[in-house]
Amino acid sequence: MLIGKTCRLGRRVRTYSVQHLARLFTSSGNMAKSKFEYVRAFETDDTCLRNCYIVVRLDGRNFHKFAAQHKFTKPNDDRALGLMGRSACSVMEELEDITIAYGQSDEFSFVFKRTSTWFKRRASKLMTHVASQFSSSFVFYWKEFFGEQPLLYPPGFDGRVILYPSNRNLRDYLCWRQADCHINNLYNTVFWTLVQKGGLTTAQAEDRLKGTLAADKNEILFAEFDINYNNEAALHRKGTTLIWEKRDETVTKCMKLLNKEEKDVPVTRSRRRVEAYHCDIIGDKFWEEHPDILEDDNC
Find out whether 172 is annotated in a ligand binding site. no
Mean pLDDT within 140-158? 96
Note the pLDDT tens digit of each residue in 93-124: 999 999 999 999 999 999 999 999 999 999 99
pLDDT band at 19 (very low <50, low <70, confident <90, very high): low
Cβ-Cβ contacts under 8 Å for 71 (sequence gap 6 or more) = 149
**With contact defined as beta carbons under 8 Å apart, do 279 and 259 qualify?**
no
Closest CA to 117 of 126, 130, 128: 126
Find out whether 105 is annotated in a ligand binding site. yes
Per-residue model confidence (pLDDT) at position 129: 96
CA distance 155 to 142: 11
Burial of 103 (0-12, 13-18, 19+ CB in 10 A): buried
Lowest mean pLDDT among 193-202, 224-233, 261-270: 261-270
Per-residue model confidence (pLDDT) at position 275: 96
Q: Where are the beta strands (DSSP E) in 64-197?
A: 98-104, 107-112, 157-164
CA distance 125 to 128: 5
User: CATH for 53-174?
Assistant: 3.30.70.3000
Residue 175 has pLDDT above 50, yes or no: yes
Per-residue model confidence (pLDDT) at position 3: 45
Mean pLDDT of the chain: 89
Per-residue model confidence (pLDDT) at position 2: 43
Find out whether 20 is annotated in a ligand binding site. no
Residue 139 has pLDDT above 80, yes or no: yes
Residue 170 has pLDDT above 90, yes or no: yes
Find out whether 106 is annotated in a ligand binding site. yes
Find out whether 59 is annotated in a ligand binding site. yes
Per-residue model confidence (pLDDT) at position 268: 72
Note the pLDDT tens digit of each residue in 233-292: 999 999 999 999 987 777 777 777 677 677 777 777 778 899 999 999 999 999 999 999
Count helices and strands (H / E) in the chain.
10, 8
Query: Which amino acid makes up residue 268?
Result: T
CA distance 146 to 172: 34
Q: Where are the beta strands (DSSP E) in the chain?
A: 4-9, 12-17, 53-60, 98-104, 107-112, 157-164, 240-256, 262-277
Note the pLDDT tens digit of each residue in 30-41: 555 788 888 888
Mean pLDDT within 42-67? 94
pLDDT band at 14 (very low <50, low <70, confident <90, very high): low
Mean pLDDT within 64-87? 97
- Measured at the CA of 36, the angle between CA 32 and CA 41, to 5 degrees, comes to 100
pLDDT band at 299 (very low <50, low <70, confident <90, very high): low
Per-residue model confidence (pLDDT) at position 260: 67
**With contact defined as beta carbons under 8 Å apart, do 17 and 10 qualify?**
no
Kindly list the domain boundaries of the chain, sorted by start residue: 53-174
- Per DSSP, the three-state class of 274 is strand
pTM of the model: 0.82
Cβ-Cβ contacts under 8 Å for 224 (sequence gap 6 or more) = 198
